[in-house]
Structure 1
């Protein structure tokens, strides 16, 4: 199973947050490939610049490489998939992750019920 992880899921992995449920840990363990979107790195850079993220993006990228989490670049196909999304969620990063999951296709691991409402590909933890 190919698995795309939401930005907050990556943060929880990196800080070993207890909100990363046993269900999520099991899915991560079973995944053949785990991906993080370039959009998530962009979102984290914005949060870091605003002082809303304690992690340093350089360390995040390095740790993803160490953990075997693959970066998935945003493509034109991904952005085209945005055109069919209903306006259920206003966060552009979350909407893009949904579009990426649909375009690839792959499962999207999230704790955001608004994200999960978009697609059966989302796994809500």
Structure 2
């Protein structure tokens, strides 16, 4: 399985937040899945840090790569898919994650209930 982690999941994973339940942690950590972080999520988190809304652990971006996460770039297929998405969700970063998951056949790991309105597999406990 290929997993695309939503921004809040990346943050909860890095900070060992209990909001990320044990079942989801196990699937992410068991080594049988490819785990991806979108560059869109890293961009979103960086913006929030710059606005003073969020603090990331020291070396956050480096830790993602060191812990085996693959960084997923945005390409033309993702932009084309984004253009065809219904407007259920207003968050442009979440919409990009949905487009990437659809275009690349990924399972989106997210607690965001609005994402379930889209035709995309979602993993959450």
Partner of 2:41: 40
State how far apart, in whole Å, the 1-side matches of 2:60 and 2:116 are.
Answer: 25
Query: What count of residue pairs does the alignment treat as equivalent?
Result: 124
What is the TM-score with the length of structure 1 in the denominator? 0.92
Secondary structure at the aligned position of 2:59 is classed as helix
Give 1:53 shift: 1.2
State how far apart, in whole Å, the 2-side matches of 1:120 and 1:43 are.
Answer: 21
1:72 has 2:72 as partner: yes
Can you give the 5+ residue segments of structure 1 that lack an aligned partner in the other structure? none
Q: After TM superposition, what 4+ stretches of structure 1 lie above 6 angstroms from structure 2?
A: none
Greater Cα shift, 20-29 or 73-82: 20-29
Q: Supply the RMSD in Å over aligned alpha carbons.
A: 1.4
Q: 1:6–1:40: 8 Å Cα contact kept in structure 2?
A: yes
State how far apart, in whole Å, the 2-side matches of 1:27 and 1:50 are.
Answer: 32
Q: 1:113–1:124: 8 Å Cα contact kept in structure 2?
A: no
Partner of 1:28: 28
Superposed CA deviations along residues 84-111 of structure 1, whole A, max 9, x for unmatched, are 2111110000000000000001100000
Q: Superposition pairs for residues 43-54 of structure 1, below 5 Å?
A: 43-54=44-55
Q: 2:27–2:33: 8 Å Cα contact kept in structure 1?
A: no
Partner of 1:13: 13
State how far apart, in whole Å, the 2-side matches of 1:78 and 1:120 are.
Answer: 14
Q: 1:114 to 1:20 in 2, by over 3 A?
A: same
State how far apart, in whole Å, the 2-side matches of 1:27 and 1:99 are.
Answer: 22
Superposed CA deviations along residues 6-57 of structure 1, whole A, max 9, x for unmatched, are 000000000000000122112213442100000011101110100011115x
Q: 1:97 to 1:120 in 2, by over 3 A?
A: closer
